[in-house]
Copies of this chain bind each other. A is one copy, B any other.
Amino acid sequence: MSDVARRAGVSRATASYVLNRTPGARIPEQTRARVLEAAEQLRYVPHVNARSLRRGRSDLVVGHVDGASVLRQGLSFVGLIQVARDIREAGYTFLFHGDPTVTGVAAARSWLALRPAAVLATLDRYTEESVAMITAAGTVPIAMSHTPSDLTPTIVLDDGPLGRAAAEHLLGRGCRRIVALGGCPGMADQHMLGHRMAEAVAAARAGGAEARQVPFSPGREAATGLVGSWLAEGTLPDGVVGATTTHAAHVLTALVDAGVRVPQDVAVLAADDEPLAELVRPRLTTVGADLDVGEARMGAAVLAAIDGRWDPDLAVRRFPARMVVRETA
């Protein structure tokens, strides 16, 4: 900026005023133009770190996401992309911190080294201690989860309705022995998929069916093994909900290969809706999430949190379920 000021023949203060369009400052049009031209010629790019160091507040928002989350928590990743856009439009700098290895206090340390205005991460990266530490540093910790939390302001992306709708569809077909496939039972608070399947189990039981959640990581052997054990033990369910289309497709394929009739013997459906559903035979019945992410404007919740105007009501996004009935249920 010194170079710009020198070239324009003004002081650094004046250059700063025109480059920042500082409200109070009345700079004659001619001076303004000279500064702007000098900045243009020198390709001046302001140094955001120096600025925030001086101002005492940062315009940086750090989002923490990793490859595993992308796969495991698709919905929250989609949400994060949208949040990032909203936040950038409000004039903040949004950067992703992608180190998958850190959580809790270690994560807090690496975020705080950047002195951001706020940090946005899935709930499982926070602990009580790390939230205290982040808050003490003047940074706003914001979480994303499928369920509200007392720990810190949390953007709720609730995909429970997808699991419930899937279970209710099976109940409507007369299924009484239902398996919810995927996520870790008892870890509903940790993983989106766990929550979705827990909700499916709850809905199935509420409808008078027998239901249990079975952990499953999609793959050919896992699916063949699972179906094999059902047949060997005589515990074949009459309805299966897969946490994702991929989960459901693997079991469907293994069932068909084992000679089980779908949907006559076992109905299968997925609690989400990926294109894969059209590619398997019989075609998979799915539950689509009817939320237009573009309209969600979740960034508004984050911006409110930064400004100390956190409003939990602004931060809840429930994914409305829409049945896509094909051939398997």
Contact = CB atoms under 8 A, between A and B. Distances in A.
Interface in A231-261: 246, 249-250, 253
A281 B278 contact: no
Contacts of A304: none
Interface string A295-322: 0000000000000000000000000000
Given A95-B95, A249-B279, A53 B45 contact: no
A114 interface: yes
Given A99-B88, A279-B280, A47 B115 contact: yes
Interface in A87-119: 88, 93-99, 109-110, 112-115
A137 interface: yes
Copies in the complex: 2
Contact of A275 (B62, B98, B115, B219): B219
B46 A113 contact: yes
A95 B48 CA distance: 15
Contacts of A12: none
A218 interface: yes
A243 to B, nearest CB: 15
A6 interface: no
B249 A115 contact: no
B95 A96 contact: yes
A46 B110 CA distance: 10
Contact of A98 (B43, B96, B278, B279): B96
Interface in A268-294: 275-276, 278-281
Given A43-B133, A276-B279, 12 more contacts: A45-B112, A47-B113, A67-B81, A70-B70, A88-B99, A95-B96, A95-B97, A96-B96, A96-B97, A220-B275, A246-B275, A280-B280
13 contacts: A45-B112, A47-B53, A47-B113, A48-B114, A70-B70, A84-B99, A94-B98, A220-B275, A220-B278, A246-B275, A249-B279, A276-B276, A279-B280
